[in-house]
Amino acid sequence: MSTQKKGWRNNYHPRTSWLEVIGKDLKFAWADFRKLLKNGGQLKSIVVYPDFPSKKTTIFKIANLLGYRLTNKAISNPDLVIYFEDITHGDTSRIREIYKERIINVDCDDISKQKVDRIHKEVFGYNTFIDPTKYSGIAVQKSDTNALHDGQIVHCPLPAGKEGSVYQLLIDNQFNDELVVDLRVPVIGAEIPCVYKKYKQMEVRFTNEVSYSTFHETSDVLSASEQEAVLSFARAMNVQFCEFDLLRHSDGRIFIIDVNKTPYGPPFRLDKPDEALDRLVSSFKRAFIK
């Protein structure tokens, strides 16, 4: 936190130049002034702490559509507070000192793959982790750190596992000869507003490179029991505003692979981005705006 560039309107990444800080502050001040005029002289605020969100994030887009000021400055009496830190293991002590009222996502300070897999086992009754020295077959090796997208296929058994890596079953989510399909599942409060299908070329299946994405009604992709399991998983992870990376195996089972508590979205090349944002905003209002 101490390394952030402290602007007048927000705090920014330490690599942001002072000229950029001034420019960003002026831009956001002007945008907030326009929201103030549009809302009849009232400007509600959402504190996202400690990170300031990119304009590509879901919360940035929701706040913009709702006409709320978005800031990571510790201002007095915000309308909402969200623990927003793009890191695998976070530290919530400071935000708990500043704000005593409800803080969205504040109890979700560990999104490591090890914890995700453990909670998945508790909720679903099955999981993805394998012992690479005992398992026989194809598996995936990836870092336990979130969002590195460094997965690679390995053939087990191995003499030993790589330090800092986890080993998981290779989920068969193949769509056709060229593509696999990932599911991106937003969770807001107690709702799953919609589901995105993200189609990727087979050779880049473990990266963020998406060929195209499609919008779907939740019930068209997940059964009622699966939806309840996903929401139970969210409760067990102590996360109220997030997106899950979910894969459906060829045997029909679903696997939550990653928890994204600072989600970017709607996803790249989505066919119905406006409809998706409408759903997200509606769910956000029901969950958090009284």
Residues 153, 156, 158, 161, Cα dihedral to 10°:
60
pLDDT value at residue 143: 85
pLDDT value at residue 189: 97
Domain limits, the chain: 5-98, 113-128+172-273, 130-170
Which residues are bridge partners to 70 per DSSP?
Answer: 46
**What angle, rounded to 10 degrees, do the helices at 58-66 and 273-288 form?**
80
3-class state of residue 34 by DSSP: helix
pLDDT value at residue 1: 45
What would the pLDDT profile of 93-136 be if each residue is shown by its tens digit? 999 999 988 899 999 999 999 999 999 999 999 999 999 999 99
Task: Enumerate residue ranges in the chain where pLDDT < 70.
Answer: 1-2, 146-148
pLDDT value at residue 157: 94
pLDDT value at residue 208: 84
pLDDT value at residue 18: 95
For the domain spanning 113-128+172-273, the CATH number is 3.30.470.20
pLDDT value at residue 147: 65
Distance (Å, rounded) from C-alpha 10 to C-alpha 63? Answer: 15
Look up the pTM and report it: 0.91
CA atoms within 13 A on the CB side of 96: 9
